[in-house]
Amino acid sequence: HLHAEDAVRLHGETMPSTVGDKRMFTFHAPVGTWGIITPWNFPLLMLAEFVAPGLATGNAHVVKPPANTPLTVLTAMEAFVAAGLPEGLVNIVAGEGATGDALVRHPGVDAIGFIGSSATGTKIQAAAGLKRSIMECSGNGPLVVLADADLDAAAKAAVYGAYLCSGQVCCATERVVVHQDVHSAFVEAVLRAADDVVLGDPFDAKVNLGPLNNEGVAAKMDRHMADARERGAKILRGGHRRADQPTDLYYEFTVVDEVPVDSLLSREESFGPVVPILTGGNDDELLRIANDDKLGLQGAVFTQNMTAAFRFVEEMAVGQVIVNDSTCFWDINMPFGGAGNRGTGWGRIGGKHTLLGMSDLRTGVFSI
């Protein structure tokens, strides 16, 4: 409903001309048919994040749902039909990567909307060529804890961002960068907060950490943990799969301290239930470590100093900086997306910004 409301306010403007007998104005027009490729972690939400603004701006859609969680999207299509959506405006084509590649290359597809990994996003963009695109790709934190931070609040936020959806969120707690003066106290607070994490059946009301979605994600966690051990990081909690579960995808909630900057836990998006802790000696070093990364989606900073908060908001190389809350904070009106010069994509998803991205800004010029 928010996109429907914003669509009626998607207005152009009248501009003065340097030529006296000319009148110029702008308006928004549909792009055409969008090829939409969505991930498996939020299959319904991310379908709606493209289709709702796309419909509101007059576009048609061909959607390739995630191969691991396609039934949610197919059920949503049944709801579209029941609601009376005109035939052809939303079309579902299920399949694996080859289906997505064919969709991206198809001459009848005018633009591409993608949410997923940076590796897949790179392949999509190479195939799409000059087609219009909105790309929301991988994230890697960070959550920065300054010396004056509320450590209990920061620890709870870090833990929450690691167990939410089993850490399978693009803005999860991928890296925690802590001031050395409060490092020990923060680690203790993280371990206390981790005591509240319960791994098990996600349909059990007492459980807040379920299994990973697929073997690829679990194997990546295994690789990251093996690399951390080899590099001398301290595994304070978890670090392995739990045996005797219905599947082999139940991963223990994991806390790792003294994480080297060049380790896989620091350099790559783990996409699992892990809190990797790095340390810096002062605010300059904390900011440098936070920005020493090829990705740049969303970060957070904990501090009670407004000047320091504004500095990190303005200088952290991510699309959004959350102050004194989890990196997983999200609001439907946020213009969500990555920072420039990073491997996280471009365009914004949320509020009016997706409407703008999914429409053409055009200009009319009249002679009087």
Instruction: List residues with catalytic annotation.
Output: 136, 170
CB 180, CB 148: distance < 8 Å: no
Tell me the backbone φ, ψ of residue 23, rounded to 5 degrees: -130, 130
145: closest CA among 47, 280, 14?
280
Cβ-proximal residues to 276 (8 Å cutoff; 6+ apart), any chain: 174, 175, 176, 228, 233, 256, 259, 263, 265, 266, 270
352: closest CA among 24, 28, 104?
28
Q: How far apart are CA 283 and CA 279, in angstroms?
A: 11
Beta bridge partners of 322: 300
Q: How far apart are CA 140 and CA 41, in angstroms?
A: 16
Q: How far apart are CA 212 and CA 238, in angstroms?
A: 15
DSSP element (H, E) containing 111:
strand 111-115
Q: How far apart are CA 141 and CA 50, in angstroms?
A: 24
Q: Where are the alpha helices (DSSP H) in 88-178?
A: 97-105, 118-128, 151-163
Q: How far apart are CA 171 and CA 114, in angstroms?
A: 16
C-beta atoms surrounding 136 within 10 Å:
27
3-state helix, strand, coil in the chain (%, to 5): 35, 20, 40
Q: Which residue type, as a one-letter code, is found at position 242?
A: R
